[in-house]
C-alpha cells in the first residue's frame, strides 16, 4: 500500500535539510527547496531547476505540495478585489485586496468560517470550520501581492487579519504565517505593516505579548458596556471587559504599541451618550485609538447604521478627550467584500 505523502510545506527549513542528509544528499538542497516553496511560490517539484532530476523524483516520491487556488474573483467599482480561495480539501475562504491612492492592503482569513458567534457578522453564520495552516494564510498574501502588482503596479503595503475567522483561535498558525511573511526567505515584509485583529481572546493576547511582537493589534470592541457587548458578541461572556483591559495594558507594557479599537455604531444599540462615555473611559485606561467602522448590512434588520449625528458625537467626544479616532468608510460593499460580509456567497 502506498503511504500517504506528506505536505512538504509542513516541514521547517531544518527538517528539509535533514531530509536531504538522511538521503545522502547535501543539506543545502533543503534550503534551495525551501526558497522554491516560500519565496518563489512553486506548486510543482519540476520547476525546481537547480535540483537534479534524481532529487526532484525523491521529493515527488515522498511529498505533495498543497496549495491554494483562486476559485473566482470579483472586482468592485472602487477597485477592491475579492477572491474566493479554494483550499486543497475543497473548502473555500475569502481574501480581499483593498487599494487606496497610496496603499494596497490584503485582508486575509485565518479560519474557514469562524469559531465565534458575533451576531452582526456574516462569517459567524457559516457552520463548517477548520483552522487554516500557516501556508494557507501565507499563500493568500502571495495571491494578493501578485494582484496588487497586476492591477495597481505596486507591491502589497499592508496586511490585516480581518478576513474570515478569529486569528487568536488559530494563534500558532497565524504567528507561523507572520514569521514566513516577514522572513527574508518568505516575503520580507515589515511586521509594522501587519495588523492582527481579535474579538478579544484575553489569554492569547497575553501569550502573544510575551513574545514582544512587532505587528499591530486591533480589538473589535463595539461596546464598552458589558451587557451590550455580551449581547453583540455572546462569547465575550467568557472574556469580560476588565480582563480584556488588563490583557491590553499588558500588551502595551510589553510592546509599547497602541491598540486600535474597532467599533461599529448601531442605531438603538450603542448610539447613546452613556455608550460614548463608557468608550471614552475605557480608552483612557490603555494607550489606544478608535476606528469607527461603517456597518455593512448582512440582511438582518436588527442592525442599522447609526445616524451621522451619533457618529459625530462619538468623534467629537473622543477628540475632546484627546483619543485618536478615525472613521473608516467601507470598501467593496457592492461585491460583499466589506468587513463582516465574507460568507462564501456564490456569485
Ligand atoms: N475575529 C476577528 C477578525 C475579523 S475582523 C475580529 O473580530 O476582530 C472583522 C472586523 O469586521 C471585526 O472588527 C468585526 O467586528 C467587524 N465586522 C463584523 N461584521 C461586520 C459588519 N456587518 N459590518 C461592519 N463590520 C463588521
- Domains contained in the chain, CATH given: 6-64 (1.10.150.530), 69-335 (3.20.20.70)
* Nearest Cα to Cα of residue 189 among 256, 260, 103, 88: 103
Question: 242-255: buried (b, 16+ CB within 10 Å) or exposed (e) per residue?
Answer: ebbbbbbebbbeeb
Give how far Cα 288 sits from Cα of 15, 202, 276, Å. 41, 16, 15
pLDDT at 345: 67
* Ligand 1 geometric centre to CA of 57 (Å): 45
pLDDT digits (tens, 9 = 90+) for 279-302: 999 999 999 999 999 998 888 778
**pTM here?**
0.92
Q: Specify whether 94 is catalytic.
A: yes
CA 345 vs. chain centroid, Å, equals 19
Q: Which atom of ligand 1 is nearest to the CA of 222?
A: 15
* Ligand 1 geometric centre to CA of 45 (Å): 39
Q: Whose CA is nearest to atom 13 of ligand 1?
A: 220
Out of 110, 171, 338, 340, mutate this one to test ligand 1's pocket (max ligand atoms within 8 Å of CB): namely 340
* Nearest Cα to Cα of residue 300 among 343, 241, 331, 330: 343
pLDDT at 339: 72
pLDDT digits (tens, 9 = 90+) for 21-39: 999 999 999 999 999 998 8
pLDDT digits (tens, 9 = 90+) for 147-178: 999 999 999 999 999 999 999 999 999 999 99
Percent of the chain whose predicted confidence (pLDDT) is above 70: 98
> Is 311's pLDDT higher than 60?
yes
- Grid cell, residue 153, equals 503596479
* Ligand 1 geometric centre to CA of 76 (Å): 20
> Is 347's pLDDT higher than 50?
no
Out of 197, 291, 305, 333, mutate this one to test ligand 1's pocket (max ligand atoms within 8 Å of CB): namely 197
pLDDT at 297: 85
Q: Specify whether 339 is catalytic.
A: yes
Amino acid at each position: 500500500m502506498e503511504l500517504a505523502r506528506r505536505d512538504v510545506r509542513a516541514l521547517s527549513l531544518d527538517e528539509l535539510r535533514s531530509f536531504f542528509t538522511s538521503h545522502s544528499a547535501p543539506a543545502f538542497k533543503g534550503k534551495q527547496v525551501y526558497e522554491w516553496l516560500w519565496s518563489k511560490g512553486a506548486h510543482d517539484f519540476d520547476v525546481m531547476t537547480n535540483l537534479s532530476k534524481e532529487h526532484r523524483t525523491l521529493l515527488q516520491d515522498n511529498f505533495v505540495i498543497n496549495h491554494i487556488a483562486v476559485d473566482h474573483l470579483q472586482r468592485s467599482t472602487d477597485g477592491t478585489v475579492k477572491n474566493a480561495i479554494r483550499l486543497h480539501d475543497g473548502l473555500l475562504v475569502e481574501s480581499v485586496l483593498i487599494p487606496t491612492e497610496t496603499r494596497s492592503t490584503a485582508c486575509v482569513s485565518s479560519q474557514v468560517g469562524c469559531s465565534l458567534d458575533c451576531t452582526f457578522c456574516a462569517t459567524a453564520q457559516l457552520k463548517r470550520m477548520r483552522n487554516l495552516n500557516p501556508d494557507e494564510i501565507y499563500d493568500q498574501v502571495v495571491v494578493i501581492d501578485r494582484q496588487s502588482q497586476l492591477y495597481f503596479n505596486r507591491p502589497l503595503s499592508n496586511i490585516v487579519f480581518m478576513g474570515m475567522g478569529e486569528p487568536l483561535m488559530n494563534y500558532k498558525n497565524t504567528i507561523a504565517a507572520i514569521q514566513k511573511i516577514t522572513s527574508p526567505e518568505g516575503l520580507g515584509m515589515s511586521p509594522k505593516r501587519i495588523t492582527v485583529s481579535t474579538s478579544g481572546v484575553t489569554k492569547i493576547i497575553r501569550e502573544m505579548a510575551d513574545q514582544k511582537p512587532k505587528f499591530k493589534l486591533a480589538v473589535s470592541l463595539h461596546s464598552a458596556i458589558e451587557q451590550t457587548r455580551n449581547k453583540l458578541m455572546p462569547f465575550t461572556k467568557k472574556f469580560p471587559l476588565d480582563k480584556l483591559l488588563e490583557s491590553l495594558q499588558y500588551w502595551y507594557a510589553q510592546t509599547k504599541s497602541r491598540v486600535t479599537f474597532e467599533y461599529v455604531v448601531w442605531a438603538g444599540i450603542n448610539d447613546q451618550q452613556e455608550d460614548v462615555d463608557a468608550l471614552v473611559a475605557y480608552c483612557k485606561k490603555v494607550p489606544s485609538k478608535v476606528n469607527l467602522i461603517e456597518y455593512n448590512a448582512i440582511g438582518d434588520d436588527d442592525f442599522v447604521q447609526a445616524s451621522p449625528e451619533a457618529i459625530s458625537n462619538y468623534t467629537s467626544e473622543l477628540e475632546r478627550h484627546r483619543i485618536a479616532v478615525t472613521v473608516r468608510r467601507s470598501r467593496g460593499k457592492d461585491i460583499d467584500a466589506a468587513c463582516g460580509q465574507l460568507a462564501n456567497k456564490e456569485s
